[in-house]
Amino acid sequence: MPELPEVETVKNTLIPLVKDKVIIDVDIFYDRLIQSNIDDFKKDIINKKILGIQRYGKYLFFDLSDDFILITHLRMEGKFAYHKTSENIRISSTTLAFYFSDKTSLCFNDTRKFGLMYLTTKNEIHDLPMIKKLGIEANKIKESDYQELFKKLRKNKPIKNLITDQSILCGIGNIYADETLYLSKIHPLTKGKDLTNNDFINIFNNAKKILDKAITLGGSSVHSFSSNGIDGKFQEELLCYGKEGKICHNCGTKFHKIFLNGRGTTFCPNCQIYKPIEKAIGITGKIGSGKSTLLNHFKDLNYLTISSDELIKEIYHDPVINKKICKIVGFIFNIDKKEDRNKIKLKMINDPQVKEKIEDILYPVLENRLIKIIEENDDVVIEVPLLFKAHYQYMFKKIFVLDIDESKQIEHLKSRGDNVTTSLKINNDYSDLNLDKVYIIKNNSSKEELFKKVDEILNK
């Protein structure tokens, strides 16, 4: 659906084409386009001069002579097409055509037929329900509007739904809502009641910045939007919208997509933390650093403990996934056999492309399973060897990263019968971690010393 910047572009391109034109005739090819009385519309529109065009939110207002106003809304795919002739102008999607006294014409083309037009007068326009309910334009919010908006936005509804509610903020649709929330670092599912006044002000400022820039660039030519052959350029500036599966430039996480009220909604789970999910404890670290030992300690403390390695084994058993991975590695394997697991591990270490393809299959499935476990349980501790590589940090309120000196690591690996040479090739770099919730613990001493360090952090 064209949003505020696209409708502004339509207005700006139409004004020089139709200003001062006199409408001498009209053809209506789809009666439901006209929301006012259709007979009065056909009669009253004749001989009216177009004096100018205004926009409010996603609505266009054609100022006509004799104090008439033509209200239009493009809805999903409505477009105006100006013609220098009045002959042979209709196409299959044309729902209306205006004919001007100078032999030019203006068509309204609407493939999905959701657009609307309403003819009224200046005296009556402000009493129309469709106009009275419109909120403040999202790029024209003033400090004096803040208190009213705080009250309207502090609801028990997802913030994405609230900022696209035209009775609260007028002009924001799906594209600019995703972009605004991404810049504001707010998850689209976050309830309005859980946000602070500063969060709302951040949203207002980012919405204005995005909308103003989009207007300057002529809007976003996504899907089928265009205005008389002029395509917008803002789609080249989009940071988040429509980028499901692509990499967030801030943190390297893949963008996720969910559906809210039927709207596709794209977000970065690590930049836009959803607080109800951020409640588990995570364990990660080098191979042989004591992750399983620490997980068992949490089990003794009556936490629900989950090993991602065990979940990955279950995922490998899925026939569809197994078949895909067999095709990638080039051989049939049984994940329950240690020698087969080692063959896959070695293949992934020696061939980064194979590793990436397998991770692209496994990570999203594991992620969904972990989220479900966290949503359904409290006091959960999850061991995830490649937690940061998979960008799962958004799920955890605390993350314990176990580090270990190589000599001690080799000792651990030998004691459990692992191939030391192969295992040491698995590199985990935690030097760049600066999250407040990350605790890097050296595990070169006894397990009792490890437990003591962890318990001290938990007790804080």
Tokens of 134: 């419109």
* Amino acid identity, position 89: I
151: which residues sit within 8 A by CB, 6+ positions away?
Answer: none
What phi and psi, each to the nearest 5 degrees, are found at residue 230?
-95, 120
Give residue 139's pLDDT band: very low, low, confident or very high (50, 70, 90): very high
Q: Across the chain, which distance is largest between two alpha carbons, in Å? A: 93
What pLDDT was estimated at residue 109? 95
What pLDDT was estimated at residue 436? 85
Q: What is the dihedral of CA 137, 142, 144, 146, to 10 degrees?
A: 70
Contact 260, 158 (CB under 8 A): yes
pLDDT exceeds cutoff 80 at 391: yes
What pLDDT was estimated at residue 207? 97
pLDDT exceeds cutoff 70 at 232: yes
Q: Where in the chain is the domain with CATH 3.40.50.300?
A: 280-306+357-459
Residue range 63-92: average pLDDT? 94
User: How far apart are alpha carbons 71 and 59 in whole angstroms?
Assistant: 7
Q: Does domain 137-267 have CATH number 3.40.470.10?
A: no
Percentage of residues of the chain with pLDDT beyond 70: 93
User: How far apart are alpha carbons 130 and 150 in whole angstroms?
Assistant: 23
Tokens of 306: 């989950």
Q: Which of 81-90, 191-200, 434-443 has the lowest average pLDDT?
A: 434-443
What pLDDT was estimated at residue 206? 97
Tokens of 322: 């197994």
Q: How many CB atoms lie within 10 A of CB 55?
A: 18
Which run of H or of E encompasses 217? none
Would you list the DSSP string of 224-238? T--BTTBPPSGGGG-
User: How far apart are alpha carbons 285 and 294 in whole angstroms?
Assistant: 11
What pLDDT was estimated at residue 224? 42
Reported as a single tens digit per residue, the pLDDT across 149-177 is 999 999 999 999 999 999 999 999 999 99
Active site residues: 2-3, 58, 263
Give residue 289's pLDDT band: very low, low, confident or very high (50, 70, 90): confident
pLDDT exceeds cutoff 90 at 427: no
Give residue 89's pLDDT band: very low, low, confident or very high (50, 70, 90): very high
Give residue 267's pLDDT band: very low, low, confident or very high (50, 70, 90): very high
Q: Which CATH superfamily is domain 4-132 in?
A: MutM-like, N-terminal (3.20.190.10)
Of the candidates 365, 261, 276, 281, the one whose C-alpha atom is nearest the C-alpha of residue 315 is 365
Give residue 423's pLDDT band: very low, low, confident or very high (50, 70, 90): low
Reported as a single tens digit per residue, the pLDDT across 32-43 is 999 999 999 999
Reported as a single tens digit per residue, the pLDDT across 13-39 is 999 999 999 999 999 999 999 999 999
Reported as a single tens digit per residue, the pLDDT across 370-386 is 999 999 999 999 999 88
Give residue 190's pLDDT band: very low, low, confident or very high (50, 70, 90): very high
284: which residues sit within 8 A by CB, 6+ positions away?
Answer: 291, 383, 384, 385, 386, 387, 388, 399, 400, 401, 402, 428
Give residue 263's pLDDT band: very low, low, confident or very high (50, 70, 90): confident
CATH number belonging to the domain at 280-306+357-459, selected among 3.40.1350.10, 2.60.40.10, 3.40.50.300, 3.40.50.2300: 3.40.50.300
Helix H, strand E, coil C: the string for 279-330 is CEEEEEECCCCCHHHHHHHHHHCCCEEEEHHHHHHHHHHCHHHHHHHHHHHC
Q: Is 240 left (phi over 0), alpha (psi -120 to 50) or beta?
A: alpha
What pLDDT was estimated at residue 426? 55
Exposed / middle / buried, residue 291 (Cβ in 10 Å: 0-12, 13-18, 19+): buried
Reported as a single tens digit per residue, the pLDDT across 304-347 is 999 999 999 999 999 999 999 999 999 999 989 988 888 998 89
Give residue 223's pLDDT band: very low, low, confident or very high (50, 70, 90): very low
User: How far apart are alpha carbons 199 and 432 in whole angstroms?
Assistant: 28
Give residue 225's pLDDT band: very low, low, confident or very high (50, 70, 90): very low
Tokens of 193: 């009641």
